[in-house]
Amino acid sequence: MDYRSLGRTGMHVSPLCLGAMMFGAWGERDHDVSIKIIHQALDGGINFIDTADVYSQGESEEIVGKALAGGRRDEVIVATKFHGQMGVPSGERGDPNQRGNSRRWIISEVENSLRRLQTDWIDLYQVHRPEPETDVEETLSALTDLQRQGKIRAFGSSTFPAHEMVEAQWVAERRGLGRFVTEQPPYSILARGIEADVLPVAERYRMGVIPWSPLAGGWLTGRYRKGQDVPESHRAQRVPRRYDLSIPGNQAKLDAVEELALLAEEAGISLIHLALAFTLTHPAVTAPIIGPRTMEQLESQLGAVDVTLSTDILDRIDKIVPAGVTLNREDSGYTPPALREPFLRRRRTA
């Protein structure tokens, strides 16, 4: 593989990043199977692994740690994330201080991630989601301290709106703090909203971009087609509105998948390769995250790095899903408070 610069960090990563979300209770429960998949990815040229503390409540990090133990840690860029609720099963309320972007939680949780990953340092430590009630200076200050202590090498954001990415850059400059050097946004043919602002901002600040869900949560694998029942999955249970066919946006996704599958067939490539090659084509993108649950899924995705899409194919994709359009808002991964809370967009009267 040709390796790419990860923003301005000086680190070089493979053009595909192995996502570990599906290793553990959320996907493949057999640790030995998950470890074999990780090793196969490394043998295939991938040197970049992304996980998060919240994935299977730490189990994913533990599996990655086991896979890299015994001499493989030094050859891999390991990224993980913090923010989500820890200490309770997914979706349940827990201690409000065992989550979030506060200094208190960051300083505590990084130690837990280091222990689970069986490592002395994390190459890229990421804020999993914005948190409006926490000042971004608080977050950047804690991350800068961890970087200076050598516990993390670099830090970044995930699923941040463009204006919050810019604010974080300005705060870092004004306060003499380390800055976010990467952004991990949702990006696929079916979710192109970030083309309007997030990707241009990332290019402006020379941030590495590590898109999650380039296969649109499975929609671009061929599993979701017209006339077929929606397959059951843990992901569909956790975020049902991304899969509920009664939602117009998901019907639009079905229509788009039919056209994209035909386009891929005409081009002589798989729908999976078409989808991954599309994200790899954008000049702002460093390495889209693939999230296989099985060895077969991994092998079906690795070859995408060798696929080059012609201008004609890219133009036809633009006609199927126009630039900057996300067919279902639920695929954006984050709902800003102004959309979530009606009172924030309604003038109060006496």
**Interval 118-176: pLDDT, tens:** 999 999 999 999 999 999 999 999 999 999 999 999 999 999 999 999 999 999 999 99
Q: What's the average model confidence in pLDDT over 21-50?
A: 97
Three-state DSSP class for residue 258: helix
CA distance 245 to 253: 9
Query: In the prediction, which pLDDT does 227 show?
Result: 74
Domains in the chain and their CATH numbers? 4-184 (3.20.20.100)
- Pick the closest to residue 72 from 17, 117, 10 (CA basis): 117
Give yes or no for residue 204 having a pLDDT over 90.
yes
Give yes or no for residue 99 having a pLDDT over 80.
yes
Give yes or no for residue 223 having a pLDDT over 80.
yes
CA distance 330 to 180: 25
Proportion of the chain in helix, strand, coil states, percent, rounded to 5: 45, 10, 40
- Pick the closest to residue 256 from 316, 309, 312, 297 (CA basis): 316
Whether the CB-CB separation of 177 and 119 falls below 8 Å is answered with: no
Q: Which of 55, 125, 187, 224 is catalytic?
A: 55
DSSP 8-state code for residue 294: S
pLDDT band with cut points at 50, 70 and 90 for residue 225: confident
Least confidently predicted of 59-73, 314-328, 330-344: 330-344
Active site residue 243: no
Least confidently predicted of 32-41, 166-175, 220-229, 334-343: 220-229
Give yes or no for residue 350 having a pLDDT over 80.
no
The pair of three-digit structure tokens given for residue 215, joined into one six-digit string: 């296969």
How much is the CA Rg of the chain, to the nearest whole Å? Answer: 20
> pLDDT of 249-279, one tens digit each?
999 999 999 999 999 999 999 999 999 999 9
Q: Please tell me which of 157-161, 243-247, 330-334 the model is most confident about, judged by mean pLDDT.
A: 157-161
User: Average model confidence (pLDDT) for the chain?
Assistant: 95
Contacts 24+ apart (CB under 8 A), 62-66: 62/24, 62/31, 62/116, 62/117, 63/20, 63/23, 63/24, 63/31, 63/34, 63/35, 63/38, 64/20, 64/23, 64/38, 64/117, 65/116, 65/117, 65/118, 65/119, 66/31, 66/35, 66/118
> pLDDT of 130-145, one tens digit each?
999 999 999 999 999 9
The set of residues, in sequence order, having a beta carbon less than 8 Å from that of 97 and lying 6+ positions away, is: 104, 105
